[in-house]
Amino acid sequence: MAELNTGDSGGGKGGKVRSKKQNSKVDLTAMVDLAFLLITFFMLTTSLSKPQAMSLGLPDKDPKDKTEDMKVDENRTMTVLLGGGDKMYFYMGLINNPMAPKLIAYGKDGIRKELIKRKKDVAAYTAAKGKPEQGMIVIIKPGKKSNYKNVVDILDEMAISSIPTYTIVNDFLPEEQKLLEGK
């Protein structure tokens, strides 16, 4: 370093033998580098290691206070069927009316596009009826062969497209059963 004084001072004959003055400054750059590297590592690992979780609320299913099935405008509903082998079908309204169940892919080019489009359609429909606070209702029906990843994926899509109302239903219509098992 610049302050290092190493020159032999004088060296006069007969002078006292002086002990050499050692420079007390140490280069701390490397140590500080290392310390900050470790700080960064520990900071990131402590906050990133906490697991994420999505919360899921299901309707109460106590048989005691079973209420009459609520009538829902079928123009607002979309039913999503989850099958084995990462297959997914959806239909609007009632089955085969107005549309037959259609195979659709997971991800942003498949279900997400459709959800956003349908959500707009439903919003336009309810606004025309004078009830703009009612949004789309998505009914998720995971089949017996679907896996947990499919369920989380579709719930995630609901969160991404901010669908106001969605639920998981485990009853299947005969047509739906056939569709999920037949292929």
Partner 1 sequence: MAKIKMKKKSTSTDMTAMCDVAFLLLTFFILTATAKVPEALPVDTPASTVQTKLPESDLATLTVGKKDGKDRVFFDLKGRDVRKRTLELMGDKFGVTFSEEDKEKFALMTDFGVPIQNLKQILDMKASDRVKADQPGIPMDSLNNQVKEWVYNARIANNEFNNAKGSKQELQIAIKGDAKEEYPVIKKVMDILQDQHINSFSLVTGLRGKDF
Among 20, 43, 94, 96, binds partner 1 (CB under 8 A): 43
Report if residue 85 touches partner 1, rule: CB under 8 A.
Answer: no
Read off the amino acid at residue 3: E
Please state the length of the chain: 183
User: What SS3 state is found at 71?
Assistant: coil
x/- track of binding to partner 1 for residues 8-37 (CB under 8 A): -----------------x-xxx-xx--xx-
Spatial separation of the C-alpha atoms in residues 58 and 166, rounded to whole Å: 9
Q: How far is the CB of 174 from partner 1 (least distance, A)?
A: 19
Binding segment for partner 1 among 69-77, 119-127, 129-137, 147-155 (CB under 8 A)? 147-155
Report if residue 161 touches partner 1, rule: CB under 8 A.
Answer: no
Report if residue 107 touches partner 1, rule: CB under 8 A.
Answer: yes
Pairing mode of beta strands 77-82, 88-94: antiparallel
Q: How far is the CB of 183 from partner 1 (least distance, A)?
A: 17
Q: Residue 100 has which token pair? A: 């037959």
Contact partners, residue 72, CB within 8 Å, separation at least 6:
137
Closest to 151 measured CA to CA, from 76, 82, 54, 71: 82
Binding site for partner 1 (CB under 8 A): 1-3, 25, 27-29, 31-32, 35-36, 38-39, 42-43, 45-46, 49-62, 82, 107-108, 142-153, 155-156, 159-160, 170
